[in-house]
Amino acid sequence: MKAAFFDQHGGPDVFRYDEIADPVVPDGWALVRVRACALNHLDLWQRRGLERVKILMPHISGADVAGDVVSINGPSQIASGTRVMLQPGMSCGACDACRAGRENQCRKYDVLGYQSAGGYAELVAVPVGSLIPIPAHLDFITAAAFPLTFLTAWHMLVTLARIAAGETVLVIAAGSGVGQAAIQIARAKGARVFATAGGEAKLARAREMGAEAVIDHYTQDITTEIRRLTSNRGADIVVEHVGVATFEKSVKSLSVGGRLVTCGATTGFDARLDLRLLFAKQLSVIGSYMGTPRELLAAAEGLFDGTFTPVVDRTFPLAKAGDAHRALESSQHFGKIVLLP
């Protein structure tokens, strides 16, 4: 098969597009022909290299995949040819966390394309349990743009923050995959949504998606603006994944009893937290990582019925994976960037 892979860490130029061996398909696994694979920031960290993390080389990234089933090694109710998107999380299925339905807390938890071969290829092998059939009206590009970011945002807002109708939600960086997913989920749950973005074009897109008001995080002070917009009350929930550049302002933007949920640190991890604010305002700061298969299926109902529509910024042919990474690193996109084999 053809794949975009790298055998050393570095910049986007380390990608090679070449023939590589087809995936091995163990018992209970399926072989899927990749029709579309969306990028995530995790892909950038893998390519650059992560401290104390060793990945197998040559490496094929890609967690967000849609395609059709080529074959299944073992009994399954899903037939060859079925159109599917893939559950990006992979767990052991046997530990206490997995048996309790907390698969994303499994000690052996992996994300497709992280410690395994992912979707930057014509074919990918995954456990049969990772297959999610998709309806005929749903195209592969839209399906590939959905799983990881909507699963992450759903886990943050619905499971951890326990969002309620009428609450105020501030979404940091609306142009990101998680940001656009969070706006849609919060709106669907009946919340008032405010969002930050950089530049008029992204701010306009955030408004179109349902943000009641928007804040330019490059030219405006987030805390000052959210307090102005909420009559000095602040936000009940802040969706944070940017890190150092916004974290302190995000905490200060919370109302009394507010909840900040964070799933990333794209601008750095060494953020400052004023403990006086934490206890005096009775705040909750909650860490979030991915989500469970059950949560993805719940979120997917909104994809299938049209409630949720992943935003796709642009597509690239698989052979141009390096260019796709450059586009993601530029932060000029709004929504997902998708590779097409």
Our CA dihedral for 220, 222, 228, 233, rounded to 10 degrees, sits at: -170
Residue 99: give its domain's CATH number: 3.90.180.10
Q: Do residues 280 and 205 both lie within one domain? A: yes
Residue with tokens 């410690």: 115
Tell me 59's DSSP state: B
Amino acid identity, position 251: V
Same domain, 192 and 128: no
pLDDT at 61: 98
Same domain, 237 and 261: yes
Token pair, residue 290, equals 């991915």
28 and 73 co-located in one domain: yes
**196 lies in the same domain as 332:** no
- Do 26 and 100 lie in one domain? The reply is yes
Tell me how far apart the alpha carbons of residues 178 and 42 are, in angstroms, rounded to a whole number.
12
Whether residue 155 sits in one domain with residue 142? no
Residues 245 and 328 in one domain: no
Q: What is the mean pLDDT of residues 218-225?
A: 95
What's the total number of domains in the chain?
2
For tokens 């049209």, name the residue. Answer: 306
Rounded to 5 degrees, what are φ and ψ at 89? -90, 140
Q: Is the same domain home to 252 and 315?
A: no
CA dist 174 and 334 (Å) reads 8
Q: Does any domain span residue 293? A: no
Peptide bond into 58 cis (omega under 30): yes
Report the chain's C-alpha Rg in angstroms: 20
Assigned token pair, 145: 């743009």
Q: Is residue 303 part of a domain?
A: no
Q: For 116-174, how does the pLDDT look when each residue is reduced to its tens digit (9 = 90+)? A: 999 999 999 999 999 999 999 999 999 999 999 999 999 999 999 999 999 999 999 99
In sequence order, the β-bridge partners of residue 59 are 6
Could you report the per-residue pLDDT of 11-61, keeping only the tens digit for each? 999 999 999 999 999 999 999 999 999 999 999 999 999 888 899 899 999
How would DSSP label each residue in 176-194?
A: SHHHHHHHHHHHHTT-EEE
Q: What is the dihedral angle through the alpha carbons of 242, 246, 251, 253, rounded to the nearest 10 degrees?
A: -120
> What is the pLDDT of the chain when averaged over all its residues?
96
Distance CA 267, CA 312 (A): 23
Give pLDDT, residue 52. Answer: 85
Contact indicator for 120, 337 with CB cutoff of 8 Å: no
Q: Count Cβ atoms below 10 Å from residue 226 Cβ, excluding itself.
A: 27
Q: What is the pLDDT of residues 259-279, one digit of tens each?
A: 999 998 988 899 999 999 999
Q: What is the pLDDT of residue 97?
A: 96
Residue 245 carries which side chain, given as an amino acid letter? A
Residue numbers of the domain that contains 26 = 2-146+310-340
Q: Nearest CA to 249 among 259, 258, 238, 257? A: 238
What average pLDDT does range 181-201 have in this prediction?
Answer: 96
Domain assignment present for residue 336? The answer is yes
β-pairing, 168-171 vs 131-133, is: unpaired
Closest listed residue to residue 250, CA positions, set 289, 277, 279: 277
Instruction: Give me the phi and psi of 291, to 5 degrees please.
Output: 180, -175
Q: What is the C-alpha to C-alpha distance for residues 290 and 66, in angstroms, rounded to an integer? A: 18
- Is 54 exposed, middle or buried (CB count within 10 Å of its CB: 0-12, 13-18, 19+)? exposed
State how far Cα 282 lies from the chain centre: 29
Q: Is residue 297 part of a domain?
A: no
**The pLDDT of residue 332 is above 90:** no
Contact indicator for 247, 271 with CB cutoff of 8 Å = yes
Q: Assess contact for 191 and 170: CB atoms under 8 A.
A: no
Q: Please tell me the pTM assigned to this model.
A: 0.95
Q: For residues 147 and 91, what is the distance between their CA atoms, to the nearest angstrom?
A: 16
Pairing of strands 110-111, 16-19: unpaired
